[in-house]
Amino acid sequence: MRKRINKYFWDGNINISGEYKLKRILEYASFPDLIAYPVEELKKYLPSINIDKLRSSQKRKTFIKLIMPLISESQSWDDIINRLVKNARN
């Protein structure tokens, strides 16, 4: 997983905050790499990120906003996606 994530820090990743790391991943990572990001770090840092200011597509921002309320009660990306699908069906 670390290799998948480190490629998004072409300018180095020494002494950067967890919030900055997550923001970079949210902005630049492919979807498979995004869902490889640790859920515990997602839980910790996502609430402090302004989603509307991310340099990413509106679809990515919408996805992030949809999963935000599901993250705190989820233990994995599979759990987050399953809850998202379940909510969409209701």
What pLDDT is recorded for position 2?
65
Taking 50 as the pLDDT cut, the residues of the chain under it are none
State the pTM of this model: 0.85
Q: Tokens 């180095």 sit at which residue?
A: 12
Show the CA angle centred on residue 15, arms to residues 12 and 20, nearest 5°: 75
Number of H helices, E strands in the chain: 6, 0
What pLDDT is recorded for position 13?
67
